[in-house]
Structure 1
Amino acid sequence: MERILKKTYRTAHPLLWMLLGVGICIFAACGLEMFYTRLFPHIVNEKQILLQSPERVLAFFLFCYYIFLHFVIQPKIIYSFIYKYRFALALAAFLICVALQLHGSSMSIWNTYLFKGDDPSRFQEPLFGLTRGIRSDEWNVFTPLAMSQEFNDYGITNSISRAWPTDMLTIYNQPVWDITLIAKPFYWGYLLLGPAYGLSWFWAGRMIALFLVTFEMFMMLTKGKKGYSVMAAFLIAFAPVVQWWFAINFLIEMLVAGQLAVLMIYHFMNTDHLLKKALYAFVFALCGLAYIFALYPAWMIPLLYVFAVLAVWVIVTNFKNGKRRKAEWFYIAGAFLVIAGIAGFWYLRSEEAFALTMNTVYPGSRVYTGGDGADFLFSYTTNLATPYLATANPCEGAMMYGFFPLTEIIAFTYLVKKKFKDLLVALLLALDMFFLIFAVAGFPVALAKITLLSNTTVRIIPIICLIEIFVFLRILSVTDNPLVQKKWLRIVLVSAGVGISVIAVYSAAHSYYTSILPESMPMAYWVGFVAVMSAFMLYFFVQRRKKLKTIFIICVCLLAFLSGMFVNPVMRTTDAIYDKPLAKAVQEIQEKEPGIWIGADMTSNFLIANGAPTITSTNIFPALERWEMFDENGEKQDIYNRYAHIFLYFTEGETELGPGPSGDTFSLYLNPNDLYRLGVNYICASPGHVIPMENFGGSLTVLYEDQNAKIYRVNPME
């Protein structure tokens, strides 16, 4: 009995220590809360007073108690328990997040533009972290669109967005009651529980699913190496590119669906049970549909290459496992028929939306031939700093820790040693080189189109980083011995790695794209990252035994965690939108007298989140017939035939459409008399927004006003 206790616990009286730990950790949590509320605003240079938060104290307590348990219970017991019950624990974490309505939206940025109210909910501000104004595609487009669906009964066609029938199944495909919902589990919360819980379901579900699926994928890839599989889950789930682009462009859906599809192929190949084969084939079909519905070619195309390589490797290496039966072909055919049938139905239903998008100036006419990626190859070296230091556009430089070009050197050395007999590493390295040539040197237009890479952008670089993660973790899983045996060769390779690390960091620090660099980066950071890269290189040329392996895994997990965890804020509820007086006023007006709205000064997309059909909300498709009223000869189609954020200005002159400050914008200079041509019933703008009334044939009545917004009713022409 005593021996069993020693194997389980590290103290003589574990129960007493665990009870004592509760008090210790409560005290520690209160100290951390005091530290956070007083020092965090100074650390991030934000002039605000943080209120005490019981949720934050509870989070600090759970963190402290988790650490404390390592001093009472043997760590092996803790992690064996977590591994054994990982799915149940993940489900519990998911349910808690949804119950508390926790999410990572930066919606509290609306507090910058709109009045919070005289007695605002404390949930209008983040519990943890900072809101990210740069992620306007999330808080100003994607999230308001999803919320508008609540006022649309989650129908396929939404006339709230753009105040024009808008297809919700493409581009920013949104929660919709439709057959496609079968492959969109992250949207189920919206339809079952409404926007507040649905938003949490969307954020928490995707993060937990990505972590779990990645872990399972690498358990297969590394042949059960739990430590390296956890490291992979951290490297991918907390990758800066995943976190900075978390809510849009569906990168998470692609990573989850692609990896899960490969896992289904693996299990399909390794079971003799026909019912299980049928289940795996069905899940594969759902993964295929989820991947297609993501519909973001810049990542879909290169990721498809990656998952195809993984699938080929799984099929080749597992073909002789289990019994091969004729019934398998029916399951395989059935899976592809499900994919083709539902995807075909989806395409036919949304054919007009696809046609509109493909014929736009932006993004439809874009053809990418590569050749401009060299300056982004080392931008991962800045990613540890961008969550904490001011950066003009950290999103474009967000990557994964693939450690280019160290991984390529390691992989080539490994393949030479193995005489190129590791099929997976060989295939992945070949794909890596193919993508690198495209990204750095570029392809002719014809070749870019044949390979479909013409549909990508420079965002192919994070996919190269992903390939590198697969490569170096595969190599680490094969053996714990040094990559080469000769000491002099080890010294040469490690020295070369140190030199390359210096070049990589120097190149990143002097990048042509200064917008992806944090401001005032201290020299100590660059030196520190050279040390990180050098240590990574060294690890492959030493004996990777117990303690060193544990330290390495912990350090890499910590690097990934600190680079991604604090990118998005932790918010609770949707009060940052629905608790505002303006939100209540808009909903009340729209309920009593429904009408068409137009907005200026950052109000347009806020209006659609509250159910108000708004002409100037982001036009995810161009409303060509509407804008042709002011362009009878079609001379200005290049201005408005695009995905566009619309800037509204009132003018005494004729209504005119003009270019905006970027490719996804245009300006509307509107004569107030044309409000009637557009069918506008309500205007929402800041109180200082000038509406020229001298030659206006109608009149405006103020229905609502606060210090940041004013609502007018457009009265009939006199």
Structure 2
Amino acid sequence: MENSLFSKKEQLIKQVEIGVTDLLILVVSFLIYQFYQNGSGILWVSGILLLVNTLRFWFEKQIKEGLDWIIRYRYLVALICFSILVMLRIHGSSIGIYDVLFGKTDAAIVNEIFGNGRIIRGDEFNVQVPYFFSQWYNQGALLSDYMSLSPQNMIIGYNAPVWDLTLIGKPFIWGYLLFGNEIGLSWYWCSKIILFLLVGYEMMFILTKRKYLSLFSSICIVFSPLLQWWLAPHMYQVFFWASSLFVVGYYFFMAKKKWLKILSTILSVCCLVGFVIALFPSLQIPLGLLMLALLVATLIRDKKELCWNKRDNVRILLVVIATGIILGIFLIESREAIQLLNNTVYPGHRVSIGGDQGFEVLFTDPSVALTPFLTPGRQNACEISDFNQLGIFFLFVYFYFLWLKKKGKIRGSFSIENTLVMIMLIEMYFMFIGFPEIIAKITLFSYINRMYMIYGFTAMIFTFVMIAQVFQYRRLLSWRVGALACGLFVLLYIATMWPNIDPEYRLYFGLRFYWSVALLMGFCGFLLFTQWRKLFFPIFGSWVVITGMLVNPIVQGADSVWNHDLIGYAEHVREEQPDARWLITNSKYTQQLLLANGIKVANGVNFYPDLKKWEILDPTHQNDTFYNRYAHIVINFTEEPTHYSLDGADSFIMYLNVDDFKKLDVEYVITDPMSADLLKNHGINAELVFEDPASNSFVYEIKKVG
């Protein structure tokens, strides 16, 4: 009789779980369809999800077996998905912004399948894509003069496609070098997502030993708002390679099979090169330390399974030698560029001592649910982005576990949990109190100016590690413990977050929205302490969909880069004059679009100063505080002496004296008619050769400078 009642109770819980999940699918689909630009495609996706989830009423076992098959053959499944997506030329770039700015030659071509490009993603579509695309015309050479008068190092430039030994640690860009720009763009985006999903699963499985939780947490990590908003530049790569180092490092020491030992040895070289070449010290240092600490903790936990002999020492030597050779050659070839970058005003000369963060960074910013739909007022969406985590909630639970362990009610190693808590406390100390400058420099924390990102990542890992422990010891846990942790969490969440709400969002939604998010997060944690614990996953998963999966569009092809009248004319000039140099005024976008199509420009984005250009225009270097930086360069003509003004830490405006312009070897200028008249008044023969009404661009050929 008891078994019958227990079975009925399980059936009821299962039915409620399926019903609630169906309801959440409908609610999320409605929100996306109603409020997300170009979001009608969600109807097809939600229809499939509803069907599969509802079929669980009758085919739960078969669906679970299918999921098990996917997990078991995940690498084969990943390869098939990757191949199909690349063949279809699918990616998530915001290059569609160029269609808005420059119009279309063929208006019938529509590339954006779901969502739209975002202007805030300028580092992606307006810097990285042009740099990468230009390398096809530069034959993948290390140095390129396509964006300025003197060559820029293209590895320093966002790790653009370059034929050299560092390719072993840059699988994301292989497609560019092998198949060209359109396939390369798809290869880049799809490989980044799929490879991190695989690495994330392996990392979380090592930490939790639970395959379904590892699959879910991997999706949550990859589609976290922070990683999606920062997917294209260096940041995503640092998180990926740090996680990869942990996974490969674990199997490097734990592997028993010969083939796995060989594979982990090779992959160790790949991961070390990829991690170092990412060139973002403010993330590399803390993430490297985090993963090293976690690796040591897992090896201590699994020390009984450790299989190591003297021959394995040779593998360490091989990794050191191979990595040293590859990185040594890179450093020799790029030492001048690295030195120039390190000596820039921005980002080179920065010393962080911490103590500059508020307590709100301990929690996920509720605004991440709004940034895919509305532009914030105070900060940009990238800066607001965060990891979805319940770190503080599970910090309370962790101390309860310590009490249970002291009472002898639970056993087993807590080395991973202890390590994560210790790291989180160090991160908190640095964020809220800070280190003396000398200590910050000795510990290398002086490079860390984005510790809140590292804390969010640590707290996210801690969240899922603790969920695994809650499931393991669920019979010892009372709902009262969850309720207490939930109450404390919600109170702290609201108290620290409400003074820091974006004013634009507060005007639209008021404080109730933020309180609701705090309650939702706390409720998710509370559910884990009840018989309804499995509801955590559809609720938290819905939050992940809203906050992370809607950040980037789904785009097919790269027509947005070349489907413009202006580009058609510029390509015609390039065919006849491949070395012709173009200068663009009053724009941050036109020169980058030209660059993406293999047109040489004089004022493209520079990662470090173009010494040749500034020797011509500023031989005494009295203005180097303006241009000695990573910089977008906007040029305007003037009759006054050449002068500069900062337009941001990574951008400046140069008011170029017309007579100074004569010193530059430029064949074409894109400017307005009034500026062209100014050139003519100073004896420069600027002849209008093309006009593009769609972008209001006027192309002048400089026939004679004198």
TM-score grouping bracket, smaller chain normalisation: 0.7 to 0.9
Q: Structure 1 stretches of 5 or more lacking a match?
A: 1-30
Q: CA contact under 8 A between 1:214 and 1:236: conserved in structure 2?
A: yes
| Aligned 8 A contact 2:391 2:462 in 1 | no
Supply the AA of the counterpart residue of 2:97.
I
Contact 2:372-2:551 at 8 Å conserved across structures:
yes
Kept after mapping to 1: 8 A contact 2:273/2:323: yes
**Cα-to-partner distance string for 1:79-108 (whole Å, 9 max, x where unaligned):** 123223322221121111111111111111
Alignment of 1:665 with 2:651, yes or no, is yes
| Alpha carbons 1:180, 1:342 under 8 Å: kept | yes
For 1:657 and 1:379, locate their aligned partners in 2 and report how far apart those are by CA, in whole Å: 43
Q: Give the corresponding residue for 2:493.
A: 504
- 2:454 equivalent among 449, 456, 463: 463
1 or 2, which has the higher helix percentage?
A: 2
Shift of 1:320: 3.6
> What does 1:361-380 correspond to in 2, within 5 Å?
361-374=345-358, 375-380=360-365
Change (3 A) 1:65 1:218: same
Q: What residue is the counterpart of 1:90 in the other structure?
A: 78
Shift of 1:539: 3.6
Q: 1:127 aligns with which of 88, 113, 121?
A: 113
Which residue in the other structure is 2:668 paired with? 682
Match of 2:323 among 303, 321, 339: 339
Give distance in 2, aligned partners of 1:632 and 1:574. Answer: 41
Deviation, structure 1 residue 549: 3.6
Range moving further from structure 2, 610-619 or 467-476: 467-476
Distance 2:702 2:135 in 1: 26
- Higher mean alpha-carbon deviation, 473-482 vs 126-135, is at 473-482
Taking the aligned partners of 1:646 and 1:705, their CA distance within structure 2 comes to: 23
CA–CA distance in structure 1, aligned partners of residues 437 and 215 of structure 2: 41
Match for residue 247 of structure 1?
232
Answering whether residue 70 of structure 2 is matched by residue 78 of structure 1, we say no
Contact 1:381 1:505 in 2 (8 A): no
Alpha-carbon spacing, 1:522–1:71, altered in 2? closer, same or farther (3 Å): farther
Q: Quick one: which amino acid aligns to residue 498 of structure 1? A: G
What pairs with 1:467-616 in structure 2 (closer than 5 Å)? 467-480=458-471, 491=480, 494-495=483-484, 497-511=486-500, 520-540=508-528, 542-543=529-530, 548-594=532-578, 595-600=580-585, 601=587, 602-616=589-603
Q: Offset of 1:429 from its aligned partner? A: 0.7
* Contact 1:231-1:556 at 8 Å conserved across structures: no
Matched, 1:204 2:190: yes
C-alpha distance in structure 2 between counterparts of 1:714 and 1:660, whole Å: 29
Aligned: 1:276 with 2:256: no
The answer as to whether partners of 1:657 and 1:666 remain within 8 angstroms in 2 is no
The one-letter code of the counterpart of 2:207 is L
- Alpha-carbon distance, 1:499 to partner: 4.2
User: Following the alignment from structure 2 to structure 1, what is the Cα–Cα distance between the partners of residues 485 and 319?
Assistant: 49
The 1:316/1:475 distance shift into structure 2, 3 A limit, reads same
Residue equivalent to 2:314: 330
Residue type matched to 1:123 in 2?
V
Report the residue type matching 1:368 in the other structure: S
Q: Say if 2:170 is the partner of 1:184.
A: yes
How many residues matched?
665
Moved more, 550-559 or 564-573: 550-559
Q: Is the 8 A contact 1:390 1:518 kept in 2?
A: no
RMSD: 2.8
Summarize the Cα distance change of 1:263–1:292 in structure 2 as closer, same or farther, 3 Å threshold: same
Q: Does the alignment pair 1:644 with 2:631? A: yes
- State the identity as a percent: 28
Amino acid at match of 1:168: M
Q: Which residue in the other structure is 2:135 paired with?
A: 149
Write the deviation string for residues 544-576 of structure 1: whole angstroms up to 9, x where unpaired: x5xx34321222222212210101111111111
Contact 2:149 2:613 in 1 (8 A): no
1:339-367 per-position Cα deviation (integer Å, ceiling 9, x unaligned): 22211111111001100001111111111
Q: Does the 8 Å CA contact 2:643/2:654 hold for their aligned counterparts?
A: yes
Q: Distance in 2 between matches of 1:686 and 1:607?
A: 17
The 5 Å alignment of 1:42-57 reads 43-44=35-36
Quick one: distance in 1 between partners of 2:367 and 2:167?
38
Alignment equivalent of 1:214, drawn from 200, 213, 218: 200
1:301–1:210 CA distance, 2 compared to 1 (3 A): same
CA–CA distance in structure 2, aligned partners of residues 195 and 63 of structure 1: 34
Aligned to 1:234: 219
CA distance in 2: counterparts of 1:273 and 1:486, whole angstroms? 39
Q: SS at the partner of 2:647?
A: coil
Q: Mapping of 1:314-325 within 5 angstroms? A: 314-325=298-309
For 2:692 and 2:46, the matched residues in 1 are separated by: 38
**Matched position secondary structure for 1:647:** strand
> Which residue of structure 2 aligns with residue 170 of structure 1?
156
The Cα of 1:676 is off from its aligned counterpart by: 2.9
- 2:292 aligned with 1:303, yes or no? no
TM-score (normalizing by structure 2): 0.88
**In the alignment, is the contact (CA less than 8 A) between 1:190 and 1:198 conserved in 2?**
yes
1:703 to 685, 689, 696: 689
> 2:126: which partner in 1?
140
Match of 1:12 in 2: none
**SS of residue in 2 equivalent to 1:122:** coil
Q: How far 1:717 sits from its partner (Å)?
A: 3.0
Paired residue for 1:438? Answer: 430
| Pair 1:492–1:690, CA change in 2 (3 A) | farther
Shift of 1:603: 0.8
CA distance in 1, matches of 2:39, 2:374: 23
Which sits farther off after the overlay, 384-393 or 271-280? 271-280
Instruction: Report the 3-state secondary structure (helix = DSSP H, G, I; strand = E; otherwise coil) of the residue aligned with 2:285.
Output: helix
Give the Cα separation in 1 of the matches to 2:298 and 2:416.
Answer: 9
Describe the superposition over 1:691-716 as per-residue Cα deviations: whole angstroms up to 9, x where unpaired.
51453212112222111222111111
* Contact 1:608/1:614 (<8 A) preserved: yes
What secondary structure is seen at the aligned counterpart in 2 of 1:246? coil
SS in structure 1 of the partner of residue 636 of structure 2 = strand
Which residue identity is paired with 1:626?
Answer: K
| 1:412-427 superposed matches below 5 A | 412-419=399-406, 421-427=413-419
Letter in 2 for 1:260: S
Cα distance in 2 for residues equivalent to 1:486 and 1:269? 35
Counterpart CA distance in 2 for 1:621 and 1:446 is: 28
> Unpaired runs of 5+ in structure 2?
1-25, 407-411
Q: What amino acid is aligned across from residue 107 of structure 2 in structure 1?
A: P
Kept after mapping to 1: 8 A contact 2:39/2:115 = no
Three-state SS of the structure 2 residue aligned to 1:396 is helix
Distance (whole Å) between structure 1 residues aligned to residue 39 and residue 347 of structure 2: 43
Cα distance in 2, alignment partners of residues 680 and 661 from structure 1: 25
Alpha-carbon spacing, 1:437–1:171, altered in 2? closer, same or farther (3 Å): farther
Instruction: Please tell me whether the aligned partners of residues 682 and 712 of structure 1 are also in contact (alpha carbons under 8 angstroms).
Output: yes
